[in-house]
Amino acid sequence: MNTRIVSSKKSKWIIIILLSICISLPLKISGEWQGGLNLSKQDMLFKLLNEFVQPFTQINIFVFFGTSVILWYVISSIRAFKLPVAAKIFTLLYAIVLGFYINYGRISRLDVVSIYVYHKFKLAIFCVSSIGIAIFIYLMLNALEQSILISKKNVVNNHSEQQISSNALKFFLTILICWIPYIVILYPATMSADTYNQLLEFFGHGDWARDIYPIGWYLLGKHPFSISNQHDFLVTLLYGTNFKIGLKIFHSAGIGLFISSLEQVLAVVSSLTYSLVSFQHLGMSIKKVNYFKWFYALFPMLPIISMFLTKNVLYSAALLGTVLLLANLLHDRLLFKKIWWWLGLILTLFVQLATEKYAVYIIMFSAVISAVLYFKNKHILRISIVSVMVVICFLSGQHLLFSMLQVPVSDPIEGEAVMIQSTALYQKRFGSSLTTSEKEAINRVFVRKNLAKLYNPVDSDPIKSSGDKEIGLKSNGTFDHHIKKSFVIGYRFRTVTKNDIRDYKKVWLRLMMQHPEVLVEAFMSQGYSYIDPVSVQYKNVSPEWATSTLNVAPVNFGLLVNGQWLKVNYSKHCPQARKLIAILYNIFSQMPPFAILLNGNLIIMMVILAFLITLTFGLDKNAMVIFVVLLQVPIFMMSPINGSQRYMYPFFILIGAIIGLVTCWIDAPTSKK
């Protein structure tokens, strides 16, 4: 906001009063209000004003005065600094998005989304309130950016290569030693149902695993390979091979799992160590570097995450490596001539592609955007070309391998969570308005009559995965295909065809054009927790399930290997310590300031702020490095589960490095020529 607009006291107070009213509009809907929707506009306005001035309600006159005081202070602190255009644009965009998502999170938690989305009067109140919050946030961010710009310090600290190299080993060992208690408690690893299904596939039970995480049968060849690409083919090979090594060489399933978890730990520690070394290269004082070192060593989320067997951990370590390589290049252009730098870039890009399917879109989009914005910069252009070539080579090699082995690829609906959710929601809201042909097109892909029942606003798995329907693998090695009484089928993966999927998508597009509010509700409900700072990750304090909260549950599963039944049970390994970790997480994740580092959505907010601050200093190329990380967010919002902590692992692992890089850029935004 231009400071000239608020220069006079009169205009300042007008803005403050209007914004305070917008922000203080009540969004709590009770039974009275639902009935009140049938009132006349005059009566409804009276009811609204009456609730506004009542004391001790959710939104009241006290909120109005509190907001007014904050706005007065913020507007008074804004000075006539000219921030870069890019900083203003992205700050405004983020403020708008955040304003609407904060409000949407409020009505979602109150379970009154339908009342606001499908009624014009309440929708208008929602939009006005959201815009008021957006302007308030913009002013807050503007004041923050200016205050940081004013306090800029030009501090340059140079360190010799010998000092930096000798410190690297110390950094690595310090972090690893401090993580040992967690490694011992969580031995041999922690894992999800996805990891178990990857092991089932590796040891020849892909037919059962694909029934739990369905792949349309039309995608399967005559003799499909047991291992699919549902959970990334190469990651399944890695976990399975390590498990087999543990059985063959050490005669221990635990060691087989521990090899994989140890590899993840070493990958993350190595990436974090490289960030500390990079800070020194960028001119950070050793005192500040040590602060980050101890943060890495003592922040419990990092070792807990690293011990969890999932592709997200390996991907995060590789992403951090790429970010640091690019950050170092911006500081020292001579690295462009170093072979090891190029090999490091290619390796980290390859690992990203091998561990996360969506890495293809992030790498390609980043490369194209960078090439367009900086087409005159030969270094950036060459990096973009190399990145695209790595993607092309990886996809070509993967396609050839999958064709030779007949590896089943992911189902087309796997990445279509919003489409699935909006279809189920349409059936719930407007099912009676569907034509016969529309019903038939949907019913060939899903069991249409079950969609409304299966619809979960924050999770598409009940519809698409058809999980938890069978008893499964028995101790004698046979499969029990008995369907549980509680199971309700959603996706017709056994009978669906490619043409069915195509026809369904055409119908879906037509339905969403008729009722776009359905698509908006489905999209917002599916991903608001990644943006809304008030949302918190799932918590469970009951003793028997507490360890599932933070993915510290002990390993306990059965597996048939070479015709022999193998029981892997670590449920008695440090159970009290695991429960204590989970319970402490549940407590501290609700308490500021600890909640900032224990809730992924708040860490995402911190990364966005780091991006905006970098733009404030006019460091657009540096900001592009952080932008690569932020590209995860829209993909998260398309993912099957809203607010999944596992999906947010890249932000947990990268947050320290990003803060450190921004600190270096602000203190000494210079580079070697």
DSSP per-residue codes, 49-100 = HHHHHSTTSSS-HHHHHHHHHHHHHHHHH--S----HHHHHHHHHHHHHHHH
Site of tokens 């951090």? 320
296 Cβ contact partners less than 8 Å away, ≥ 6 residues apart? 175, 272, 276, 302, 656
Lowest-pLDDT range, 297-306, 432-441, 549-558? 549-558
| Terminal Cα-to-Cα distance of the chain (whole angstroms) | 37
Q: What is the pLDDT of residues 564-589, one digit of tens each?
A: 888 899 988 999 999 889 888 888 88
Phi, psi at residue 567, to the nearest 5°? -105, 120
Q: What is the pLDDT of residues 589-639, one digit of tens each?
A: 888 888 888 999 999 999 999 999 999 999 999 999 999 999 999 999 888
Check residue 82 and give its pLDDT: 77
Q: Which of 516, 576, 510 is nearest to 547 (CA)?
A: 576
3-state SS string for 392-456: HHHHHHHHHHHHHHCCCCCCCCCCCHHHHHHHHHHHHHHHHHCCHHHHHHHHCCECHHHHHHHCC
User: Is a pLDDT exceeding 60 seen at residue 516?
Assistant: yes
Percent of the chain topping pLDDT 70: 84
User: Is a pLDDT exceeding 70 seen at residue 236?
Assistant: yes
Check residue 24 and give its pLDDT: 73
Site of tokens 């993840």? 264
- Asked if residues 25 and 128 have their Cβ atoms less than 8 Å apart, the reply is yes
Check residue 37 and give its pLDDT: 46
Measure the CA–CA gap between 254 and 257, rounded to whole angstroms.
Answer: 5
Which residues, listed in sequence order, are joined to residue 491 by a DSSP beta bridge? Answer: 446
- Asked if residues 163 and 280 have their Cβ atoms less than 8 Å apart, the reply is yes
Measure the CA–CA gap between 317 and 315, rounded to whole angstroms.
Answer: 6
Measure the CA–CA gap between 300 and 178, rounded to whole angstroms.
Answer: 10
- Asked if residues 188 and 557 have their Cβ atoms less than 8 Å apart, the reply is no
Compute the mean pLDDT over every residue in the chain, rounded to the nearest whole number.
Answer: 86
User: Is a pLDDT exceeding 50 seen at residue 653?
Assistant: yes
User: Is a pLDDT exceeding 50 seen at residue 33?
Assistant: no
Measure the CA–CA gap between 261 and 313, rounded to whole angstroms.
Answer: 10
Mean pLDDT of 504-526: 95
Lowest-pLDDT range, 202-206, 426-430, 448-452, 666-670? 666-670
- Number of C-beta neighbours around residue 489 at 10 A: 15
